[in-house]
Amino acid sequence: MRVIACAALAVAGVSGAPSPYLSPGSVVADRAGKRLYVACETAGAILVFDTGDEKVVARYTLEQVRRIALSPDGKRLFATAGEVTGLLHEIDLATGAHLRSLPAGHTPEALTVSPDGRTLYYCNRFARDDQKDVHALDLASGRITHSAKAVREPAAICLSKDGKTLWVGNHLPIMPANSQHVFAVLNVFDSATLAPVATLDLPAGAFAVRDAVMSPDGRYCYVTHSIGRFTVPTTHLDRGWINTSAVSVFEVASRTYVNAVLLDDTVRGAANPWGVAVSSDGRWLCVNVSGTHELVVVDAVEMMKRLAAAEHPKEVVNDLGFLYGAKTRVPLEGQGPRALAVCGERVFSAMYFGDSLNSVELWDDGPGAAVELPLVDTRPQPGLARQGEMAFHDATLCYQHWLSCASCHPEARSDGTNWDLMNDGIGNPKQSRSLLYTHRTSPVMITGVRASAEVAVTKGFALIQFHELPEPQLDSVNAYLKALKPVPSPYRKPDGSLTDAAKRGKVVFEGKAGCVTCHTPPYYGSKKKFAFGLGSDSERDREFATPILIEVWRTAPYMYDGRAMTIRDVITTDNTNNKHGHTKGLSPQEVADLAEYVNSL
């Protein structure tokens, strides 16, 4: 195997040696289907896999690689990498030479190349609210020519077949969580200028958008996501009561939503849909279902016929039997399939927790069985935290496999919606909280109903996933959550220091506003509960646990019921009685500075 070390790539905001695990998270195939390029997130490597010999033939060392894309001629490989000072890398595949690294902003991830090979489009997963996060980069000059603003955490990207429009899927919703309908959206941009063309709504409850792909004929865009049924209490899971998995279909020419189809079955969920690809003839729509470790293969031709003939089109998104007879669920070897690629009549699924690929043949009458293809000779035994990460993302540890912990806590953070849990009554939905540092502050849950995060983990499996986990597995999940590290805030300077506005805001936070009284360093939270008279109806005078402010920049909306869209709203319009910090007397500049500081934590 050829091993190629690219230029030294010290990435700010990232620490520690590469993990012993590969964690393949992005995969692309060359046009001939002879080579797969596999980006391994935690190993800091891109593997070259020969599909004929079924083995790894080369390895590029690239620290903190995230996503990859090929040039249309197959001669160059592009990769996004890093966090705070992210980079875009270009590799010559003929020589293995690392051609250049370009600054790419905070957490560059999704990327694609124009059909003529002249422009590379990429997204910053995280950015300030006042910063653009979708970019067009001229590959000849290495300069960004146009930029645009997506809605929230752009995580999926694809170009229309004619190359005229760029479609960007936003990972999470951004709207008050106490609204009647909450959903993520797609942004459509003019690819020449990145001028906004359309904002397209996904169905109500849509969140955790993971991937998007165009049909080979260019007529449709397919988008994978979950659908949270958060308007009902979490009393049971049967028949997708609170969570289902979907592919939404959009017509490209008219830029309109067609419908959404469910990947689940009536009594068995297909949790955490991830990567999506289509066979070259457009017949087979292939989706990795990460939580249940499966590949779902849908007859796309039959699916579109059924959508066109649907008697009640608005009910298709709720119909667990709609794809009956038109889809096949293929069990995969290993855990956590995420990215995938179609090579001729084979689908290759990258197993994030298995450090392997799975190959599935696509026959005229459907898919065959999966064959596992290891990416390393010897796979290390997962440590305790890695075991916990696997369990956290494993929907088979749930009654009928409807959801995993990651369904409501993607990346162990918030999903931007409210849920009506049974631990504090019924009819009072509350925000899904980030789990970062929850083991270091107690009590936990919005109302502090659990004495510790360990208790919350145990009760979460038992009362939300309706599954009793043995003690060793619970210990592993706790180990994973304790090991979480915050992503540095995009509201700070690239070197990690505070902006001038944040420095002024820090003075307000610690002084006249009195925020530090409850939100104390180092986690900017508290082990105490407080009642500020800001609850709704029967909860008006209820005590709530003090939330941690670390990473609050990425956990909107705010307040216990998600009513506040921004930190500025928390400080002003949602602090009517001036009890949630002394903010009424602050000047507009002080409010702006205080919000800047809180967002920098």
Q: What is the pLDDT of residue 10?
A: 33
How large is the average pLDDT for residues 230-259? Answer: 95
- 488 within a domain of the structure (yes/no): no
Look up the domain containing 558 and give its range. 500-600
DSSP letter assigned to residue 477: H
- Is residue 1 very low, low, confident or very high in pLDDT (cuts 50, 70, 90)? low
Last residue of one domain, picked from the residues 76, 98, 120: 98
Pairing of strands 256-262, 143-148: unpaired
For residues 208 and 352, membership in a common domain is answered with: yes
CA pair distance 366, 585, nearest whole angstrom? 67
Q: What percentage of the chain has pLDDT greater than the value 90?
A: 83
CA pair distance 589, 512, nearest whole angstrom? 14
For residues 73 and 165, membership in a common domain is answered with: no
- 317 within a domain of the structure (yes/no): yes
Q: Which of 243, 167, 177 is nearest to 208 (CA)?
A: 243
For residues 394 and 307, membership in a common domain is answered with: no
Roughly what angle, to the nearest 10 degrees, separates helices 471-482 and 453-463?
120
How large is the average pLDDT for residues 208-228? Answer: 98
4 pLDDT higher than 90? no
Q: What percentage of the chain has pLDDT greater than the value 70?
A: 96
15 pLDDT higher than 70? no
Cβ contact 69:54 at 8 Å: no
Q: Provide the 3-class DSSP secondary structure of residue 189.
A: strand
For residues 203 and 57, membership in a common domain is answered with: no
Q: What is the pLDDT of residue 447?
A: 80
For residues 130 and 279, membership in a common domain is answered with: yes
For residues 45 and 134, membership in a common domain is answered with: no
CATH number at residue 52: 2.120.10.30
pLDDT digits (tens, 9 = 90+) for 43-80: 999 999 999 999 999 999 999 999 999 999 999 999 99
How large is the average pLDDT for residues 106-121? Answer: 98
* More confident call, 261 vs 546: 261
CA pair distance 294, 126, nearest whole angstrom? 29
- 328 within a domain of the structure (yes/no): yes
CATH number at residue 531: 1.10.760.10
pLDDT-wise least confident of 31-35, 134-138, 176-180: 176-180
- 492 within a domain of the structure (yes/no): no
How distant, in Å, are the alpha carbons of 215, 346, 427, 571 from that of 422?
Answer: 42, 45, 9, 30
For residues 178 and 235, membership in a common domain is answered with: yes
Cβ contact 515:528 at 8 Å: no
For residues 402 and 455, membership in a common domain is answered with: yes
- 516 within a domain of the structure (yes/no): yes
For residues 431 and 328, membership in a common domain is answered with: no
How distant, in Å, are the alpha carbons of 110, 149, 384 from that of 104?
Answer: 12, 15, 34
Mean pLDDT score of the chain: 93
pLDDT digits (tens, 9 = 90+) for 364-396: 999 999 999 999 999 999 999 999 999 999 999
Q: What are phi and psi of 72, to 5 degrees?
A: -55, -30
pLDDT-wise least confident of 157-166, 180-189, 580-589: 580-589
Q: Provide the 3-class DSSP secondary structure of residue 245.
A: strand
Query: How many structural domains comprise the chain?
Result: 4
Cβ contact 232:395 at 8 Å: no
Question: Does residue 522 have a cis bond before it (omega within 30 degrees)?
Answer: yes
- 490 within a domain of the structure (yes/no): no
Q: Which of 160, 227, 228, 172 is nearest to 198 (CA)?
A: 160
How large is the average pLDDT for residues 394-400? Answer: 97
CA pair distance 20, 311, nearest whole angstrom? 53
CATH number at residue 186: 2.130.10.10
- Is residue 451 very low, low, confident or very high in pLDDT (cuts 50, 70, 90)? confident
For residues 345 and 473, membership in a common domain is answered with: no
For residues 475 and 526, membership in a common domain is answered with: no
- 493 within a domain of the structure (yes/no): no
Residues whose CB falls within 8 Å of the CB of residue 14, separated by 6 or more in sequence, listed in order: 63, 64, 82, 83
pTM, rounded to two decimals: 0.95
Cβ contact 595:568 at 8 Å: yes
Last residue of one domain, picked from the residues 455, 482, 509: 482
Last residue of one domain, picked from the residues 98, 121, 141: 98
- 494 within a domain of the structure (yes/no): no
For residues 220 and 317, membership in a common domain is answered with: yes
